[in-house]
């Protein structure tokens, strides 16, 4: 199915080419490595010339180095040509020149909502990295941006890469198989029906190289607190898996509990990930008496969505253990089985999907039903199977479907290009983006 969707999107883009409506990318003030990952691949009917508008400085330099790395790699190099404008009027210059029709925004999150609103007001399509809002004030600008985008017939979309992770895809598909899963439990605050937990690391490799982060990444007034950042992905997945293709409204989500806490970083660790030997002035209010930086990078909340209780948790650590990386845990509780994704040491830090029976039926009977359902999945994802394990069954997923987080950026971009080809997104996408950010803003306020 995934392959067919990609071909359909590319075919639609070809139709755009025939209509001479070539996509021309603009990159606005790139400051996060996700801006470059959008260009890790080439796309049909997307002009290789990309116009970049920036105030200049280290963020821009790192962005251009990453693009150059993609262009000069030995295997399947890209051939992007970056045309750069720098100056204090970079935003006004981009809007005045209008040398492209799709703006890529991934950088300082404190500026993002304002950038988005300015772009859609100018009649430009926007593909934005998460989070698109980090404060309630930002969220009000974002709500206005969606209204303006609709009026100006442009598409505003955020980059939800986690929808393309194979274990999450199959968890969602199995949750739609009542013979195996039954129906989704409603849960309680103490025992939610769905749990999403994510652990990330400040120090990591991107495109095979140590990631150097901009110092503002550690300032929650610029990057956003943990409770409004990675939670964007997890809240999106709750909506996407529990209520697939259904339009949700902010009033249907109610945050019950929320909390935040800090991650501590030593001066040596800060230097390792920023190449700076001192803290910038804007971070000094977060420095303790031992000269360690304390960042509100962590957060969790419990909420109710259409009567279903969900728990979202995000934690940032400095670096992963040897052989490890960012991890994801997810449980969906059904009346017949639980669907669980684990990515810990026992899984060699690679996500694996498990089915754990909860209904009163024999293992043999349940396995017969599971066989029928997994065979249906294998018709779309050939090679998918299952095997017995402690506590239930593991869904066996061929390596070819584990293409990694960085590859998901191309998949999101191709999906968005398909939307541009048809001139619209599914009816549920915009209301669900609004509901997602509204829910997170509730949690942000409640955590205080």
pLDDT value at residue 4: 40
What pLDDT digit, counting tens, does each position of 371-418 carry?
A: 999 999 999 999 999 999 999 999 999 999 999 889 999 999 999 999
Asked if 316 and 201 touch (Cβ cutoff 8 Å), the reply is yes
Domains, the chain, ranges and CATH?
Answer: 2-158 (3.40.50.720), 163-405 (3.30.360.10)
Half-sphere exposure at residue 207, Cβ-oriented, CA atoms within 13 angstroms: 25
pLDDT value at residue 94: 98
Alpha-carbon distance of 68 to 84, in angstroms, equals 13
Tokens of 3: 């392959």
- 413 vs 34, 41, 44, 66, 391, CA distance in Å? 12, 10, 11, 18, 38
Q: At what angle do helices 231-242 and 429-446 cross, to 10 degrees?
A: 130
- 130 vs 41, 112, 123, 351, 402, CA distance in Å? 20, 9, 21, 22, 22
Those residues whose C-beta lies under 8 Å from the C-beta of residue 362, and which sit 6 or more positions away, are none
Between β-strands 81-86 and 49-54, what pairing exists: parallel, antiparallel or unpaired?
parallel
Q: What angle do CA 134, 140, 142 make, to 5 degrees?
A: 70
pLDDT value at residue 345: 87
Those residues whose C-beta lies under 8 Å from the C-beta of residue 73, and which sit 6 or more positions away, are none
Kindly report the pTM of this predicted structure: 0.92
What pLDDT digit, counting tens, does each position of 276-320 carry?
A: 999 999 999 999 999 999 999 999 999 999 999 999 999 999 999
pLDDT value at residue 393: 98
Between β-strands 102-105 and 25-28, what pairing exists: parallel, antiparallel or unpaired?
parallel
Positions in the chain short of pLDDT 70: 1-21
Q: Is the peptide bond before 131 cis (omega within 30 degrees of 0)?
A: yes
Judged by DSSP in three states, 291 sits in coil
For 42, phi then psi, to 5°, come to -95, 160
Alpha-carbon distance of 45 to 22, in angstroms, equals 6
pLDDT value at residue 273: 96
Tokens of 360: 């009163």
As to burial, measured by CB atoms within 10 angstroms (0-12 exposed, 13-18 middle, 19+ buried), residue 268 is exposed
């Amino acid at each position: 199915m995934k392959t067919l969707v990609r071909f359909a999107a590319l075919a639609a883009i070809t139709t755009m080419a025939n209509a001479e409506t070539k996509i021309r990318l603009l990159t606005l003030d790139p400051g996060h490595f996700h801006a470059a990952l959008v260009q890790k691949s080439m796309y049909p009917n997307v002009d290789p010339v990309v116009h970049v508008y920036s105030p200049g400085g280290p963020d821009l330099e790192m962005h251009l180095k990453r693009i150059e790395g993609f262009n000069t790699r030995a295997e399947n190099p890209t051939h992007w040509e970056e045309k750069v404008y720098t100056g204090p009027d970079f935003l006004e210059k981009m809007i005045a020149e209008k040398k492209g029709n799709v703006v890529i925004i991934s950088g300082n999150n404190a500026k993002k909502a304002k950038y988005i609103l300015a772009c859609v007001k100018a009649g430009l399509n926007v593909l934005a990295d998460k989070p698109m809002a980090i404060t309630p004030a930002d969220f009000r600008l974002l709500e206005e941006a969606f209204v303006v985008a609709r009026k100006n017939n442009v598409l505003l979309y955020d980059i939800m890469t986690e929808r393309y992770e194979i274990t999450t895809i199959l968890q969602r598909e199995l949750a739609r198989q009542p013979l195996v899963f039954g129906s989704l439990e409603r849960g309680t605050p103490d025992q939610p029906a769905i749990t999403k937990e994510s652990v990330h690391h400040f120090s990591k490799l991107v495109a095979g190289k140590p990631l150097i982060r901009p110092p503002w990444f550690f300032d929650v007034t610029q990057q956003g607190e943990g409770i409004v950042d990675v939670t964007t992905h997890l809240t999106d997945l709750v909506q996407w898996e529990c209520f697939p293709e259904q339009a949700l409204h902010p009033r249907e989500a109610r945050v019950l509990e929320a909390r935040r806490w800090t991650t501590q970083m030593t001066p040596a660790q800060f230097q390792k990930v920023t190449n700076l030997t001192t803290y910038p002035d804007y971070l000094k209010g977060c420095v303790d008496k031992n000269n360690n930086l304390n960042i509100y990078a962590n957060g969790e909340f419990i909420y109710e969505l259409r009567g279903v209780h969900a728990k979202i948790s995000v934690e940032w650590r400095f670096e992963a253990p040897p052989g490890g990386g960012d991890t994801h845990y997810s449980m969906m509780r059904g009346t017949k089985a639980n669907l669980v994704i684990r990515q810990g040491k026992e899984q060699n830090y690679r996500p694996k999907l498990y089915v754990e029976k909860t209904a009163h039926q024999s293992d043999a009977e349940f396995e017969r039903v599971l066989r029928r359902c997994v065979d249906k999945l294998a018709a779309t994802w050939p090679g998918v199977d299952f095997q017995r394990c402690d506590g239930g069954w593991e869904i066996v997923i061929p390596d070819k479907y584990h293409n990694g987080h960085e590859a998901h950026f191309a998949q999101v971009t191709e999906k968005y290009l398909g939307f541009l080809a048809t001139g619209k997104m599914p009816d549920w996408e915009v209301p669900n983006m609004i509901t997602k950010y509204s829910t997170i803003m509730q949690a942000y306020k409640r955590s205080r």
